[in-house]
Amino acid sequence: MEQERKEQVVGFCRELIRIPSLSGQEKGVAEHLMAFMKANGFDSAAADDYGNVIGCIKGRRPGSKLLFDGHMDTVPVPDPSAWQYPPFGAEIHGDRIYGRGTSDMKGALAAMTSAASFFARDSRRDFAGEIYVAGVVHEECFEGVASRAISQQVHPDIVVIGEASGLNVKVGQRGRAEIVLESFGKPCHSANPEKGINAVYKITKAIAALRQVEVPHHPVLGDGILELTDIKSSPYPGASVVPAYCKATYDRRLLTGETPRSVLAPLQAALDKLMQEDPEASYKISYAVGKETCWTGNEITGKRFFPGWLYDKEEPFVQKVVRELQADGFRPEITQYNFCTNGSHYAGEAGIKTIGLGPSRENLAHTIDEYIEVDQLLKVTQCYEDVMKALLA
């Protein structure tokens, strides 16, 4: 890569990092991203109702629609003083750019946007299809929910998720669901507990029963984990009142083929059995529903059920990408993500061919002193150009 281009990619990445962009507060990054696209050869660049930025470069010949997906939001920085370098300073020390969002995932977003511009310029747009780059909102809250609006607008044929992969090609992931277990009792003064029904006692029986429910296993993705993550009674604090309500939350890791109904069915069966045995027990199990405000002022709402997905390593579109990367000197492994991504929508819900390919290490996301190596940033820019060559020839 020419020195001028290297400086452009690194500089753009640092500019994005310097703009804080918590979920729902992505406006600054969105505006900067659109301005960059318009100044660097994109045919269009606009924000949708949620605030997702969608930029497009069209080739001279008809062909596939290739979408690169990178989210603009980041997790918070609770204590900036705990960082060795300022979390929004984008300082370079050694071969690393430090800051919140470097690895997750403004580095990839800068690289894919730059790569699209470079590819269009170098090919003189003599390629078959259309290149889209999406800067997505609210991914940290709702993996895939905002992406629904993008796929409805773009109708992509193939999607590249830019989450950290160490330049390896990812062909799947477990999904996740947030499941809420509720227990309903009867309040009374705790000096006379026999006059009420303690919802906490009842929910402990339900928790014990749900631990006995067997979770499925996938030979590649592993176990469909069901793990209790929090529990809260009401009223709280009790102040001499027997609690009439208690809520427990579970994290359920999802495998391919699982549906909202199939996941809840065995849990509901276990609860039904308890309620048959104990007439005083009353339970409800459901999926958590989240609601957030976008930077545009619109609300985004979603059930917290984000499907898993997996493609075979020998899929033709996967192998095309791998061969092009290998021809350019890269040696990618074909593996799966260990965490949830916007691929939950594209591949898991919409059935769109999807791979993951990004810079940096997966375990740097959400950490203190988060960083991205400059070498990884520049290499993934070339990798994204290789993907374009492979799929839009």
| Alpha-carbon torsion, ordered 173, 250, 259, 348, to 10 deg | -30
| Alpha-carbon torsion, ordered 48, 52, 53, 57, to 10 deg | -80
pLDDT tens digits along 321-332: 999 999 999 999
Q: How far apart are alpha carbons 56 and 310 in whole angstroms?
A: 27
| Alpha-carbon torsion, ordered 71, 76, 6, 8, to 10 deg | 80
Q: How far apart are alpha carbons 106 and 84 in whole angstroms?
A: 20
- CA nearest neighbour of 171 among 348, 326, 323: 348
- Rounded mean pLDDT, 3-27: 98
Position 239 pLDDT exceeds 90? no
pLDDT tens digits along 345-391: 999 999 999 999 999 998 999 999 999 999 999 999 999 999 999 99
pLDDT tens digits along 172-185: 999 999 999 999 99
- Provide the percentage of residues in the chain whose pLDDT is more than 70: 100
pLDDT tier at 1 (50, 70, 90 boundaries)? confident
pLDDT tens digits along 281-316: 999 999 999 999 999 999 999 999 999 999 999 999
pLDDT score of 211: 97
Alpha helices in 278-373 (DSSP H): 316-327, 343
The dihedral through the CA atoms of 277, 279, 281, 283 has a sign that is positive
Both tokens assigned to 122: 């170098």
